[in-house]
Amino acid sequence: MNWHPHTISLLGIAALAAPITSQAKIYVSIEQAQVLLLPNQLLTQSPILISKGLQEKLRLASSIRHPFQGDRIWKAKDGSWFVVDEVVGKHEMIQYAMALSPSGAILGVEILEYVESYGYEVADPAWRKQFIGKQVNDPIKLNQDIQNIGGATLSCKHLTDGVKRVVMLYELALKEQSSKTK
């Protein structure tokens, strides 16, 4: 008996073997985000060493396992901070930037690059506006003080956790640097 594959079976196998692709969307560059979030500010790159202890404190405060990169931090002359971070959306990384006032309040969040094929609604300015004014004592937690977007739950959660992590970074490391330069 000769076996002949059924055409529909072959299509199903081909579909399973086909790679799942997503297309990166770059919303703004780091330089553009700096101008958007801290207009008319002269920024100086101010990298910090992220010790294992600090990395663990940031992980506990935000539940993000992906390590924070301490080389993507800038300080403005007025004492504001500009920080670039990244978190996993569902499968791929979301790169975003934040600006913090000299007192640690969030001035804004910009999505730099989004790779996922869904959940891109986190780039909506109305959703990101929820973070403005939040500080370390605010929950900065999805479905508490930050509203979810249906269909983008993991991106919303992970980006919210990332924002919390940067606010904690200010509290644990940048705030101390601010007081030393006054």
CB-CB neighbours of 83 under 10 Å: 25
pLDDT of residue 118: 86
Mean pLDDT within 23-32: 91
DSSP alpha helix (H) spans, the chain: 7-17, 30-37, 52-62, 125-128, 153-169, 175-180
Mean pLDDT for 156-173 is: 97
Element (H, E) at 85: strand 81-88
pLDDT digits (tens, 9 = 90+) for 50-108: 999 999 999 999 989 999 999 999 999 999 999 999 999 989 999 999 999 999 999 99
For residue 46, give the amino acid letter: S
Q: How confident is the model at residue 19 (pLDDT cuts 50, 70, 90)?
A: low
* Confidence (pTM): 0.86
